[in-house]
Amino acid sequence: MFVMELTYTAPIEAVEEQMDAHLAWLDGYYAAGVFLASGRKVPREGGVILAGGLSRAEIEKIAAEDPFTLAGVCAYRITEFIATKTSADLSTVRENPAA
Query: Is the confidence at residue 15, as pLDDT, over 90?
Result: yes
Q: pLDDT band for position 77 (50/70/90)? A: very high
Each residue's pLDDT tens digit, 42-70: 999 999 999 999 999 999 999 999 999 99
The predicted structure's pLDDT at residue 99? 55
Ramachandran angles phi, psi of 7, nearest 5° = -125, 125
Q: For residues 91 and 25, what is the distance between their CA atoms, to the nearest angstrom?
A: 25
Give the predicted TM-score (pTM) of the model: 0.92
Q: What is the CA radius of gyration of the chain?
A: 14
Is the Cα torsion angle 11, 13, 16, 18 positive or negative in sign?
Answer: negative
Q: For residues 66 and 21, what is the distance between their CA atoms, to the nearest angstrom?
A: 8
The predicted structure's pLDDT at residue 16? 97
Query: Is the confidence at residue 88, as pLDDT, over 60?
Result: yes
Beta strand 35-40 with 74-80 is unpaired
> Which DSSP symbol is given to 54?
S
